[in-house]
Amino acid sequence: MKIAIFSNDGPSSRKVAEALKAKIAAEHLTIDDDHPEIVITVGGDGTLLTAFHHYQDQLASIRFVGIHTGHLGFYTDWRDYEVDQLIDSLANDNGQSVTYPLLDIGVEYDNGAYEKLLALNESTLKRAMGTMQANVYIKDKLFELFRGDGLCVSTPTGSTAYNKSAGGAVLSSELEAIQVSEIASINNRVFRTLGSPLIISPSEWVRVEPAQEGEMLLTCDTELVSHQQVKAITYRISKQKIAFAQYRHTQFWQRVSESFIGVKPND
């Protein structure tokens, strides 16, 4: 079993990472940061997002495990004091996993360039200055002319992140779907948007064509990908998935309840 440890820079995370490395060596498991089968992240959801992008070219052969050194995360199941239990699970691994959908983002730039991106949480599109106007198409049919701060397109597991702040629904992680939520849309006699989040199926796609000149701010998870002029962006559910080693499984709705409402399993 080849294992990579991907930690944030916090002192408590680095301490956990060191303890993990020592125990992995003692168990005769192998550390391999270049071509791992398991990637253990130590930190929070942000650390898992960064690790996902670091290893996104090897998703087919990698399973992730998240240890949180702060609060319960959406991608982090293990606590920092559970390193021994995790090592036992790694030593007895039988390939068990759970997978979640990802978001494909196809970006056409005004200069003719094309870029393909992959998001675990979401992608947002905003204009650098002023409000954004954009034609929104569903399956190549014009759906609406959006005007407002921007749009957020998220995966089911990303629905609890930026999407939720933008008023989107929390989607079950078992659904194959992506969600488009509006960020501060303008609705008056001149401009009209649907005004509620949209949920798109695997056979559908969404295309956004900015309707003004000027720099756009395009994000993919933790990164600001571009601030060039964008001609169009197409969003669809990816054929790729992220896999987590399922040694234990916090039920999705229990995680939502614990994180946002504060209800613990035994309450």
Residues belonging to the active site? 45
Please count the residues of this chain forming the interface with ligand NAP, following the rule CB under 6 A: 17
Query: Binders of ligand NAP among 116-145, rule CB under 6 A?
Result: 121-122
Q: Note whether 148 binds ligand NAP by CB under 6 A.
A: no
Our CB check for ligand NAP shows the closer of 182 and 221 to be: 221
Our CB check for ligand NAP shows the closer of 7 and 160 to be: 160
Q: Note whether 64 binds ligand NAP by CB under 6 A.
A: no
Closest distance of CB 159 from ligand NAP, Å: 8
Q: Note whether 180 binds ligand NAP by CB under 6 A.
A: no
Closest distance of CB 8 from ligand NAP, Å: 9
Closest distance of CB 76 from ligand NAP, Å: 7
Closest distance of CB 18 from ligand NAP, Å: 21
The 10 Å CB-count burial string (b at 16+, else e) for 33-46 is eeebbbbbbbbbbb
Binding-site residues for NAD(+): 45-46, 121-122, 147, 149, 160-165, 184
Binding-site residues: 45-46, 121-122, 147, 149, 160-165, 184
Residue 12 near residue 80, CB atoms below 8 Å: yes
Q: Note whether 156 binds ligand NAP by CB under 6 A.
A: no
Rounded distance between C-alpha atoms, residue 146 and residue 131, angstroms: 10
Q: Note whether 45 binds ligand NAP by CB under 6 A.
A: yes
Binding site for ligand NAP (CB under 6 A): 44-46, 49, 70, 73-74, 121-122, 157-158, 160-162, 165, 221-222
